[in-house]
Structure 1
C-alpha cells in the first residue's frame, strides 16, 4: 500500500516532455531564452542565459574551432591568446557553476523536493558533480597546442548541459516549485 495520498503529485507527472535540441546559435546574447529552456524562474533563467553566453564566448575564442585539428598551425602568439582566453573563460565558468548549482540545490531543499523525492534530487546533484568534474578535467588538460580540442570538448559539455540537464533536471525542479501546493510558491493577494 502506498504511503502517498491520492492527490499527491508524483515526479512522473512532473517529467518534462521531450524537448528539441537548442543550438546556442539560435540565441542572441541578452535575448529571451529559447522556449524549450524557459523555466519560469527568474534567477534560474537569467543564469541559463549566462550559460548560453558562455557557450558563444567559447566558440569565439578560436577562428575555426570546428575545423582545426589542433593548434600547431597557429603562430605562438595566437596559441597563447587562445589558451589565455580559454583559461579566463574556464575560471568564470567554474565560479558561475558553483553559484548556479548552489542556487538549484537550495531550491531543492527549500521546496521540500529533497524530502519527497530524494532519488530525483540526488540524480540532479550527481549531474552537477559530473559537470563540475568534466570542467576540472578540461582545466587539467590545458596545453597550448591542444586548446582547440579542449574548446570542442567544452562546447560539447555545454551543449549537453543545455539540451539535457536544463531540459530534464531543471525543468522538473521548476515544475515542482510551481505546483499549486508548493512550499515556495507565493500566495496570490486577495
Structure 2
C-alpha cells in the first residue's frame, strides 16, 4: 500500500503549487483506501473522476503559473500533463466496463505523483530560484 504522507521532496517552493499537490496526494490516498476496502465500484469511479477533474484544474493552474514566470519548458511540461490525463482517462474508462486493474491503477497514481512532482514540477522551483537570484 502507498500510504504516503507529504515529504519535503514533493515541495516545489511555490506555495500554490505545493498546496494543490497536497490535495492531489490526499485524493490518491483516498482512492487507494477505497480500493483496499473493496468500496463499491461506483464510489471508486466517482473518486477517480474527482481526481481527473482536480488534475485538469491543477495542470491548468500550474501552466498559468509557468506562463507568468516565462518558464522555458512549458510546452514539454504541457505535453506531459496531457499524457497523464489521457492515461487516467483510460483507467476511468476501464472502470466503466468493470476491468479495473487495482495494482496498475495505484502504481500509475503513485508514479504520476511522486515522479512528476519530484522530476518535472521541481524544475519550476529551480527556475524561480535562479530568477530571484539573478534579480537580487
Which TM-score band applies after superposition, normalised by the shorter structure? 0.7 to 0.9
What stretches of structure 1 of length at least 5 have no aligned partner? 1-22, 28-32, 65-77
Shift in CA distance, 112/86, structure 1 to aligned 2, threshold 3 Å: same
Q: Which has the higher helix share?
A: 2
**How large is the Cα RMSD of the aligned pairs?**
2.4
Larger relative contact order (CA 8 Å, sep ≥ 6): 2
What TM-score, normalized to structure 1?
A: 0.62
Q: Is the 8 A contact 1:97 1:132 kept in 2?
A: yes
After the TM superposition, which parts of structure 1 deviate over 3 Å for at least 4 consecutive aligned residues? Answer: 143-147
Q: Alpha-carbon deviation of 1:180?
A: 4.0
1:98 aligns with 2:56: yes
Question: Under a length normalisation based on structure 2, what TM-score does the superposition of the two structures give?
Answer: 0.84
| Number of the residue aligned with 2:77 | 124
- The CA distance in 2 between the partners of 1:104 and 1:171, in whole Å, is 12
1:138 maps to what in 2? 91
SS at structure 1 position matched to 2:13: coil
